[in-house]
A and B are shown apart, each in its own frame.
Chain A
Amino acid sequence: MDVIALSWWQLALAALLVVALAGCVGAARLGMSKSLLIAAARTVIQLALVGLVLEALFASARLHWVALMALGMLLIAGREVMARQKRRLLGGWAFGIGTLAMFLSSFTVAVLTLTVIIGPEPWYRPQYAIPLLGMMLGNTMTGVALALDRLTDTAWRQRGVIENRLMLGERWQEAIGDIRREAMRSGLMPIINAMAAAGVVSLPGMMTGQILAGSPPALAVKYQILIMFTITLGTGFGTLVAVAAGSRRLFDGRERLRLDRLAPP
Chain B
Amino acid sequence: MSRGLPLTLEQLSVGVLLTLDLTITPGQIVCLSGASGSGKSRLLRAVADLEPHDGDVRLGEQAQSRMAGHLWRRRVMLVPAESHWWADSVGEHFIVEPVMDDLAALGFEHEVLGWQVSRLSSGEKQRLALLRALCRGPSALLLDEPTANLDETSVHRVETWLMARIRQEGWPVLWVAHDPGQIARVADRHLRIEARRLVDRAANEAASPWT
Binding site for B on A (CB under 8 A): 160-161, 163-172, 178, 252-257
Q: Is B78 at the interface (CB under 8 A from chain A)?
A: yes
CA distance A238 to B77 in the complex (A): 37
- When the two chains form their complex, are residues B77 and A167 in contact, meaning their CB atoms are under 8 A apart? yes
State how many angstroms separate the Cβ of A175 from the closest Cβ of chain B.
Answer: 8
Contact present for A168 and B136 (CB under 8 Å)? yes
Residues of B within 8 A of A167 (CB): 48, 50, 73, 77-80, 133
Q: How far is the CA of A154 from the CA of B51 in the complex (A)?
A: 20
Quick one: which of A161, A252, A255 has the most chain B CB within 10 A?
A: A255
Nearest CB of chain B from residue A247's CB, rounded to whole Å: 15
Q: Considering the complex, which residues of chain B in the window 56-74 have a beta carbon less than 8 Å from any beta carbon of chain A?
A: 68-71, 73-74
- Residue B210 at the A interface, CB < 8 A? no
B49 within 8 Å of A (CB atoms): yes
**Known interface pairs A160-B84, A170-B70. Does A256 touch B52 (Cβ–Cβ under 8 Å)?**
yes
Size of the B side of the interface (Cβ < 8 Å), in residues, is 25
A sample of 13 cross-chain residue pairs with beta-carbon separation below 8 angstroms, ordered by A number, consists of A160-B82, A164-B80, A166-B50, A166-B69, A167-B78, A167-B80, A168-B73, A168-B136, A169-B71, A169-B75, A169-B138, A172-B70, A254-B52
Knowing A254-B69, A255-B70, A256-B69, the reply to whether A168 touches B132 (Cβ < 8 A) is yes
Q: Which residues of A contact B133 (CB under 8 A)?
A: 167-168
CA distance A165 to B93 in the complex (A): 10
Q: Are A256 and B84 in contact (CB under 8 A)?
A: no
| B83 CB within 8 Å of chain A | yes
**Which residues does chain A contribute within 8 Å of B85, judged by CB atoms?**
161
C-alpha spacing A256/B47, complex, angstroms: 12
List 5 additional contacts besides A165-B86, A169-B71, A256-B69; criterion CB under 8 Å. Answer: A165-B84, A167-B79, A169-B70, A172-B69, A255-B69
The CA-CA distance from A256 to B78 in the complex, in Å, is 14
Q: Is A169's CB under 8 angstroms from B73's CB?
A: yes
* Cα–Cα distance between A253 and B84 once the two chains are bound (Å): 24
A169 with B74: CB separation less than 8 A: yes
Alpha-carbon distance between A160 and B78 when the two chains are bound, in angstroms: 13
Q: Give the residues in chain A near B74, CB-CB below 8 Å.
A: 168-169
Partner of A169, one of B51, B77, B82: B77
Query: Are A178 and B86 in touch, CB under 8 angstroms?
Result: yes
- Would you list which residues of chain B between 83 and 127 have a CB under 8 Å from chain A? 83-86
Shortest CB distance B72–A (Å): 8
- How distant is B131 from chain A, measured CB to nearest CB, in Å? 12
Contacts of A168 in B (CB 8 A): 73-74, 77, 132-133, 136
Give bound CA distance, A255 to B86, whole Å.
19
Instruction: Report B43 CB to chain A, min CB distance, Å.
Output: 14
Question: Chain A CB within 10 Å — which of B52, B75, B84 has the most?
Answer: B84
Bound: A256/B49 CA distance, A: 7
Residue of B nearest to A168 (CB): B136
In the complex, chain B residues whose CB is within 8 Å of the CB of A256: 49-52, 69
Q: A residues within 8 A CB of B69?
A: 166, 172, 253-256
B56 CB, nearest partner CB in chain A, Å:
12
Query: What's the minimum C-beta distance from A155 to chain B, rounded to whole angstroms?
Result: 13
Give the top 8 A-B pairs by smallest Cβ distance, nearest first.
A169-B74, A255-B69, A164-B84, A254-B69, A160-B84, A161-B84, A167-B78, A171-B70
For residue B70, which residue of chain A has the nearest CB?
Answer: A171
A167-B48, A169-B73, A169-B74 given; A255·B84 CB < 8 A:
no
Chain B positions within 8 Å of A257 at CB level: 50
Q: Enumerate chain A residues within 8 angstroms of B136, measured Cβ to Cβ.
A: 168-169
Taking CB atoms and an 8 Å cut-off, the chain B residues in 130-164 that contact chain A are: 132-133, 136, 138
Q: Determine how close the nearest CB of chain B comes to the CB of A176; give it in whole angstroms.
A: 11
> Are B84 and A166 neighbours in the complex by a CB distance under 8 Å?
no
CA distance A102 to B22 in the complex (A): 51
Among B50, B86, B133, chain A packs the most CB atoms within 10 A around the CB of: B86
